[in-house]
Amino acid sequence: MTVQRATSIAVSTASAVPLRGTIEIDCAGTVARFAIDEELAHRLCADLERFLTQVPHRARTARS
């Protein structure tokens, strides 16, 4: 699997009731578009919160 670096992300609302929209992720000039609803938005938000609050792992130094 090839991992692309996202260069831009946009979120837009298509409908307020029920809450629906799209997420567009630009990776090296190719844009991927995803439909999203409120439930998925909450799950994504929780996953991003866990990602952002992770304690960084420090590289272990060799002992002499």
At 13-24, the pLDDT tens digits run 999 999 999 999
Residue 12 half-sphere exposure, CB side, CA atoms within 13 Å?
A: 7
Instruction: Tell if the pTM clears 0.75, that is, is over it.
Output: no
Structure-block tokens of residue 47: 């996953």
Going from N- to C-terminal start, the domains of the chain cover 6-52
Name every residue whose Cβ is closer than 8 Å to that of residue 29 and which is 6 or more positions away in sequence. none
pLDDT score of 2: 81
Read off the pLDDT of each residue in 31-60 and give the average, rounded to a whole number: 88
Residue 49 pLDDT level (bands cut at 50, 70, 90): very high
Closest residue by Cα to residue 21 from 8, 38, 43:
38
* Average pLDDT over all residues of the chain: 88
Structure-block tokens of residue 25: 């992720």
Do the Cβ atoms of 31 and 22 come closer than 8 Å? no
CB atoms under 10 Å from CB of 46, counted, come to 10
